[in-house]
Amino acid sequence: MSDTDPDVEYEDTDAGRDVIVDDQAREYYDTLVEEEDSPFYGVQRIDLFMFALGYGKKRAGQVTQGSGRNALFNRPSLSEQQEWIIKSVATYEERDPQVLRDEKQVYQIAQEYARGGIEELHNLYIRPGDSFSELTTDLVQLGQDFYDFEE
């Protein structure tokens, strides 16, 4: 995460139509939504991307894209809420709301966190243990601290 740098000039850019993942990530997505014992069985890939973005931000960190380019979904399919989460991640990352002018960078940040997150989620799925339960427990604990209420 970088501190705000008043000298940074952001270019006005538009992100591409599709959100792209590398070959390895594509496999992770496929496995997690297609395997019946996965906690994400039947989940839409766009929603899993958003989950991975959060999980990557919190638990894994950014990972740059590897080889291969696969369209995971097209950006217009994102809901307004999902778009604002992506923008917030970029704003927080850059400590500067001006980053929002540079849409390419906004989505690059999101894709790199999601790349880290999806790998970690895949690891969690293949590790022994109840990944569904681990994920909900993690969320509940984080949420309770923030919203200040008890289970």
Residues in contact with another protein by CB under 8 A are: 12, 39-43, 47-48, 50-51, 53-55, 57-59, 80-82, 84-85, 87-89, 91-93, 95, 97-98, 100-101, 132, 135-136, 139-140, 142-144, 146-147, 149, 151
Q: Which residues pair with 73 in a beta bridge?
A: 19
Q: How many residues does the chain have?
A: 151
| Minimum distance from residue 119 beta carbon to another protein (Å) | 15
On the CB side of 45, CA atoms within 13 Å amount to 20
| Minimum distance from residue 37 beta carbon to another protein (Å) | 10
25 or 51: CB nearest another protein: 51
Which position has the token pair 């960078």?
105
| Minimum distance from residue 43 beta carbon to another protein (Å) | 6
Q: Which residues pair with 13 in a beta bridge?
A: 102
| Minimum distance from residue 129 beta carbon to another protein (Å) | 16
20 or 54: CB nearest another protein: 54
Long-range Cβ contact pairs of 131-136 (< 8 A, separation 24 or more): 131/38, 131/39, 132/39, 135/39
- CB contact at 8 A, 97 and 88: no
25 or 52: CB nearest another protein: 52
| Minimum distance from residue 74 beta carbon to another protein (Å) | 18
66 or 143: CB nearest another protein: 143
Q: Which residues pair with 20 in a beta bridge?
A: 71
How many CB atoms lie under 10 A from the CB of residue 56?
Answer: 25
